Each structure stands twice: as C-alpha cells, then as structure tokens.
Amino acid sequence: MTELRIDSLSKDFGTFRALDSVSLDIPNGKFVCLLGPSGCGKTTLLRLIAGLETPTDGRIYVGGADQTEVPTHKRGMGMVFQSLALFPHLDVADNIAYPLAIRGVDKATRRARAEELLELVQLPGLGSRRIHQLSGGQRQRVAIARGLSIDPQVFLLDEPLSALDASLREHMQIELRQIQQRLGVTTVVVTHDQKEALTMADLVIVMKDGVIQQAGAPMELYHTPANAFVAGFIGTTNLMPCTVADGVVSVLGHAFPITEGDRIAISSGEAQLSVRPEHVLLGAPDEGLPAEISFLRDLGESLHVLMRVGDQEITAHLPPGHGHDLATGQTVGIRFRDGEKVVVQ
C-alpha cells in the first residue's frame, strides 16, 4: 500500500511562499495531476515529495511512513524530469537499469529487466542504442521506463510531455495512462495543460499561488468548479459578472431564471456566472440577452460564434449543421441551457 499523504506542507524560498500549507490524500494506485499556471507551486510540491527540496513546514507520508526527513536517495521513488535527464554516457538499457545498478543487482538481471521495460514502453530491442540516437518520443519512453525500473513507491513526473509536439503528446498521454493502469503504481504528474490532466488523471488538483484551489475527479472539476479560477482553467468557459437574487441570475441587465441542475454557490449577492460555450444557445434578439456577433469561426466539427455585449465577450460552440444563417454584425438573443449555469465566487 503506497498511498501518499501530504500534511499541511509549506515551502518558502526566501520571502516567497511557494507552497502554503497544502494537505492532500492520494489513495494507492491513483493517477494524480497537479495542474496550474507556472509559479503555482506544483513543481515545488512534486520536488518536495521526491525529497529534492526540504519543506519549511509540514509532513509527507508514503505508505503510512513519515518520509519528511528521509534523504532523496532512500525514498524509493521513480521520477521523470522535464529535461528527461537521461545519462548521455550510458546506453538505453544501462539508463533504464541505473537504479538497479545502484542497488547492486547483477548485470544479467538488469539487462532482462531493462528489456522487459523496453517492451512495456514499446521500444523492444533498443537497449544497446545511445541516447543521442533516439528521437524525442523514444527518449520520453526511455525516461518513463527508467522511472519505473525499481517498481517505485510513487511515480513522479514533472511536465514529462512538454517537449513533444501536439499529436505525439496526445498519443503519449493515452499510453502513459495505460501503462499506469496496467502497473497500478501511484502516480503524480505535474502539468499546466488541462487537456493532459483531463485525459490521464483519476484525480486533478488545481493549484494557484501555492494553494490548492480544488481537488477532485476531472468531470467533477469540469461540472462543479469550486471557484472562478477553476472554472476558467479547466476547459473553456464564459465567465460573466452576475447577481443572484430571488431565484434569478442577472447577467448584463438580463435576468435568467435558476433551473434544476444549475449549480449556484450563493443564495444572493454578486458572483461570477460560468457557462460552457456548448451550453450557450442562440435565438431571436427578443428571446434572450441581445448580443452582436463579432466573429464566426467554422472549424467543421463545430461553429464558434464570438459575440459582444458591451465589453463582455461571450462565445457559443454550435454543433455541425447549425448556425449557417448567422452573419457577423447580426444581433442575436443569448440563452443558457437549463441546468448548465454555474455560479462561482
């Protein structure tokens, strides 16, 4: 059992507080994504778990054992670095088996284990290659295999796919998730890419300014964001200032009745309304909030309608076959699909 528990962990760099009393419970075998903009403390948290940084305050438990004071090299972690940090002076198999060599495993066993892992990451037979002979995607796979070679307590990855191009990145996300599910290893990935987090994670932890904003399953975060930051960071959304009172949400001077399924965090007062573009409906100007179409973006799979209400921009995504009669400059009436209004602080 290698569940990971973080107990009010803080880290200061000089006067800068990178991590502010973060607590987390990660169950055994879960795939966790630490998600947030740069400087939010996600990498610091990962490095603290790995033991590469010393916490200012708080404790780290791995499998129930307090690891806070244990030096890095005795923690039994696997890690993939942002630069990959493969050893150019060793061949692929020796790179993968390096953690085993450190632990005094004999050469034949090391070679066998390296080959086994190369098959896992779909690079069979490449053990004797040099690192500089590999492509970016292959290096990525070698780094993953190396991180897994000792059956780590926790598998840590720091922006592992950021160097790959978009299509290869998507492919590796799926593959990484499949490998993790097959091995059942507790995994923590740092990423700033929300799609990456949604693709891979059991549990997404959204961070900002060293504080956890929300932790939950991807769709939980998508449908019930805890605040405006999470709503804006996970997926695309329209965020509009609003007022809640007497069963209606007033946006830009137009009152929308609260319907069943709407997630309204407050009973009355000022807040933010978040509506996903796919839940913005268009009709005649007198049927809703009047808005002027400023741009039409037809992507084939969907039609993006960019609209303006004063200074507020609102985007609607229409399914294929809809909105062919729309034109730039036209005024339409905006409505929101019932049960898809989310009011957050």
Q: Given the rule CB under 8 A, which residues bind another protein?
A: 50-52, 72-79, 81-83, 85, 87-89, 98-99, 102-103, 146, 150, 156
- Nearest residue (CB) to another protein, 153 versus 238: 153
- Nearest residue (CB) to another protein, 147 versus 277: 147
Which among 139, 3, 151 has a CA at the least distance from the CA of 84?
Answer: 139
| Closest distance of CB 297 from another protein, Å | 38
- Nearest residue (CB) to another protein, 150 versus 242: 150
- Nearest residue (CB) to another protein, 78 versus 210: 78
Residues contacting 57, CB < 8 A, separation 6+: 8, 9, 10, 21
| Closest distance of CB 203 from another protein, Å | 22
Hunting for tokens 């630490």 — which residue is that?
34
- Nearest residue (CB) to another protein, 90 versus 248: 90
Which among 96, 9, 100, 121 has a CA at the least distance from the CA of 61?
Answer: 9
Q: 26: exposed, middle or buried (C-beta count within 10 Å: 0-12, 13-18, 19+)?
A: buried
| Closest distance of CB 99 from another protein, Å | 4
212: which strand partners?
207
DSSP 204-220: EEEEETTEEEEEE-HHH
Which among 123, 124, 126 has a CA at the least distance from the CA of 91?
Answer: 126
- Nearest residue (CB) to another protein, 149 versus 237: 149
| Closest distance of CB 85 from another protein, Å | 4
Residues contacting 69, CB < 8 A, separation 6+: none
Please count the other Cβ atoms lying within 10 Å of the Cβ belonging to residue 17.
16
- Nearest residue (CB) to another protein, 58 versus 76: 76
Q: Where are the alpha helices (DSSP H) in 128-186?
A: 136-148, 166-183
| Closest distance of CB 192 from another protein, Å | 18
| Closest distance of CB 102 from another protein, Å | 4
Q: Distance between CA atoms of 239 and 235, rounded to whole angstroms?
A: 12
- Nearest residue (CB) to another protein, 50 versus 172: 50
Q: Distance between CA atoms of 337 and 238, rounded to whole angstroms?
A: 13
Residue pair 9/19 in contact by the 8 Å Cβ criterion: yes
Element (H, E) at 99: helix 98-102
Q: Distance between CA atoms of 120 and 268, rounded to whole angstroms?
A: 55
| Closest distance of CB 165 from another protein, Å | 21
| Closest distance of CB 166 from another protein, Å | 24
Work out the angle at residue 51's Cα, subtended by the Cα atoms of residues 50 and 53, and round it to the nearest 5 degrees.
115
- Nearest residue (CB) to another protein, 76 versus 216: 76
Please count the other Cβ atoms lying within 10 Å of the Cβ belonging to residue 245.
13
| Closest distance of CB 105 from another protein, Å | 11
**Three-state secondary structure call for residue 87:** coil
Q: What is the rounded radius of gyration, in angstroms, for the C-alpha atoms of the chain?
A: 24
